[in-house]
Structure 1
Amino acid sequence: MDEARMLERSLVPVSLVTGASGFLGRPLLDALLGPDESRGRVVTVGRRRPPDWPAESFIQADLTNPESVRAAIEEAAPSIVFHLAGKTPPAPAPELYKANSMATALLLDALRERGRPVRVILTGSAAELGPVDESDLPVGEGHPCRPVTPYGVSKWLATCAGLAAQPPLEVMIARIFNPIGPGTPESQSLGRFAAQFSDPAVEELSVGCLDTRRDFVDVRDVARALIALAQHGRPGLVYHVGTGRSQRVGDGLEQLHRLSGGRVRVTIDPVHAGSAGPGDSRADIRRIVEQTGWRPEIPWEASVEDLWNEVQARPSVAIDRVNTWT
């Protein structure tokens, strides 16, 4: 690359995205590649290149290997980093800690060693909070975190690493509640329901508790929230990303059942009929709304319908099951 080309490239902002093949990755790439050309170049990094992504904008790296991460950061020279890569249940605990906690620490170390200003958006999870009394809902960012699952602990450790970062790193945490929409993985209840209803070989679906309520936020709204934080967020803060309202899981099941034509018979499994996790969960989103202007736009019913339509058109391998969303 000649000197003039190198100078031109150094002046163009670079957004680096990890986990770009996952559930959140594709909507974020779509949003970053929109009409706003001022966002500059978008580079993805990970074990494999996202489908249909140009090879010249991909850096192959093992995010759990310090040398590999350091080399990727030097090559990309990012001004903004969206860290989406990680693992979710049912991955075993050692893999969760390695992919979520250690990989985040290595990424932050590599960025710090480079010594250049960079804004970093880490994707957290509501699982970091642990049990929250209904009297404390909607839950704000100041609520103490008491995670009770390996996944929640692994994400909380990553958040702690981000909050401890010092300049020139400008780190913000997007604590995402329950993303839904096109690409929802089968490890999540509504993703599993949609996949089962669309499978012609399935005649019966056995389900557990349907009265659990969760703050479901559309994955495309989440992508916009991440960009809003990169543009307007304040370093050193956690931002809850949700809708501020909760929806009954059973209502999502019923909508998917109607959309499928009701061919599959739904039965309740008494062994798993008890609620898994808190009965209700919803986020206080005033901080991100007030500080960035972001707010959720896509209605819950539209998210469920778009999930169904995407599952109907889904090829045999649609998303990276290792890097699901965070």
Structure 2
Amino acid sequence: MKILITGSGGFVGEYLIQELLMRNHEVYGTVKSSVPKPLFPVYDLNILDDFAVESVIKTTRPDVLIHLAAQSMVLKSWENPKDTLLVNTIGTSNLLSAIIKYSPGTKIISIGSSEEYGITAKNGIELNEEMPCVPQNPYALSKYSAGLLTLQLAKKNHLKAIHVRAFNHFGPGQREGFVVSDFASQIAKIEKNNFRPYLSVGDLSAVRDFTDVRDVAKAYVLLVEKDVENGIYNVCSNKPVAVQEILNELIHLSNVTIDVNVDEAKFRPAEVPFFVGNNTKLMVSTGWKPERSLKESLKETLESWRQRVIGGEYEA
């Protein structure tokens, strides 16, 4: 199939492209102009430029659109809610309008977030796709709006559309700003310099649902290839893991002694203690299941950060 990926230069995009190319799909991407160009056709695209969006859709007329491009950091969404809503919601609207106008046969896969569920998770229950969403931050609100818009316009215009709610995912190559990478990057920097042997962390009591990015990419590919019903699909491990367990394992993997400093300034507003998804719908519809072990994925992520710090990609 001919597949267009917005935000193809990002963390998930790298693994998704590898998986699609291995399966002999024809891949096109959109990137920011500052991102190095990969070895497949790409377009520099600002998804807020509706004329440019129309041009790309009209030119490619893809069989499938995987919409990854987003402002994806919760902290940044608090700092600049307007830009987050513009990029994540209005940008999605621009893409949908172009699909309706020029390529109505395109299957749309909108990538959302588990954050959309918000305080629905407060009772410690596994979240399934039928549960209500009560977003608790601007990022979550922007993704919830984008998902509703995708499915409503798909219904009105007889499009094929899926909205994914992806839970926490991580792996080699992820940037700072996400819990596993934040821990791993600090440890790698401490190992290199050993001058400030403590980690500054936020709330460690939270329980979350973690999946390796490579398993997430495979889930997206199966949603591309399988003839599944329109609707919402959780992509998650269905396994509760305390953030404290993640930190303990990474410290165990370290080659230096590390102390932990809990910084309450890093606690997030409206934090939900237990946030774990139910992946039954995805597994039944596609046959997907997570394959990589948490411990091995953490080890590979830490090693990736060690190489990045040693190589000077990040200041230690």
Stretch moving more, 75-84 or 225-234? 225-234
1:221 aligns with 2:203: no
Q: 1:103 to 1:258 in 2, by over 3 A?
A: same
Higher helix share: 2
SS at structure 1 position matched to 2:205: coil
1:87 aligns with 2:71: yes
Cα distance in 2, alignment partners of residues 273 and 163 from structure 1: 33
Aligned partner of 1:322 in structure 2 is none
1:186 to 176, 179, 191: 176
Aligned residues: 302
Q: 1:49 to 1:82 in 2, by over 3 A?
A: farther
Deviations 1:269-289 (A, max 9, x none): 356579961111111111010
Within a 5 Å distance, the mapping from 1:230-249 to structure 2 comes to 230-249=224-243
Aligned partner of 1:119 in structure 2 is 107
Deviations 1:143-184 (A, max 9, x none): 011102101100001001111123452110111010111123
Deviations 1:6-41 (A, max 9, x none): xxxxxxx3110111111211110111111x22x2x1
Cα distance in 1, alignment partners of residues 302 and 104 from structure 2: 44
Cα distance in 2, alignment partners of residues 50 and 82 from structure 1: 18
2:131 to 143, 154, 176: 143
Aligned partner of 1:324 in structure 2 is none
Amino acid at match of 2:130: G
SS at structure 2 position matched to 1:151: helix
Cα distance in 1, alignment partners of residues 62 and 266 from structure 2: 46
Cα distance in 1, alignment partners of residues 51 and 128 from structure 2: 37
Stretch moving more, 68-77 or 274-283? 274-283
Higher relative contact order (CA 8 A, sep 6+): 1
Stretch moving more, 44-53 or 188-197? 44-53
Aligned partner of 1:106 in structure 2 is 94
Is the CA contact (8 Å cut-off) linking 1:211 and 1:275 kept in structure 2? no
Is the CA contact (8 Å cut-off) linking 1:218 and 1:298 kept in structure 2? yes
SS at structure 2 position matched to 1:165: helix
Is the CA contact (8 Å cut-off) linking 1:93 and 1:151 kept in structure 2? yes
Q: 1:138 to 1:77 in 2, by over 3 A?
A: same
Cα distance in 2, alignment partners of residues 53 and 270 from structure 1: 41
Identity of aligned residues (%): 27
Stretch moving more, 105-114 or 178-187? 178-187
Deviations 1:52-105 (A, max 9, x none): 612x61111211110010011112221111110101223211111111111111
Cα distance in 2, alignment partners of residues 141 and 180 from structure 1: 22
Cα distance in 2, alignment partners of residues 260 and 19 from structure 1: 33
Runs of 4+ in 1 over 6 A off after TM superposition: 273-276
1:23 to 3, 11, 16: 11
Is the CA contact (8 Å cut-off) linking 2:124 and 2:275 kept in structure 1? no
Instruction: Extract unaligned runs of 5+ from structure 2.
Output: none
Aligned partner of 1:8 in structure 2 is none
Is the CA contact (8 Å cut-off) linking 2:120 and 2:133 kept in structure 1? no
Aligned partner of 2:153 in structure 1 is 165
Deviations 1:234-285 (A, max 9, x none): 3431001101111111111112112221344322235657996111111111
Q: 1:233 to 1:278 in 2, by over 3 A?
A: farther
Q: CA RMSD in A?
A: 2.1
Amino acid at match of 2:135: P
Is the CA contact (8 Å cut-off) linking 1:27 and 1:219 kept in structure 2? yes
Stretch moving more, 104-113 or 306-315? 306-315
1:293 to 287, 305, 311: 287
Aligned partner of 1:284 in structure 2 is 278
Q: CA deviation at 1:290?
A: 0.5
Q: 1:254 to 1:162 in 2, by over 3 A?
A: same
Amino acid at match of 1:282: V
Is the CA contact (8 Å cut-off) linking 1:46 and 1:63 kept in structure 2? no
Q: CA deviation at 1:192?
A: 0.8
Amino acid at match of 2:281: R
Q: 1:270 to 1:86 in 2, by over 3 A?
A: closer
Cα distance in 1, alignment partners of residues 10 and 103 from structure 2: 29
Q: CA deviation at 1:48?
A: 2.9
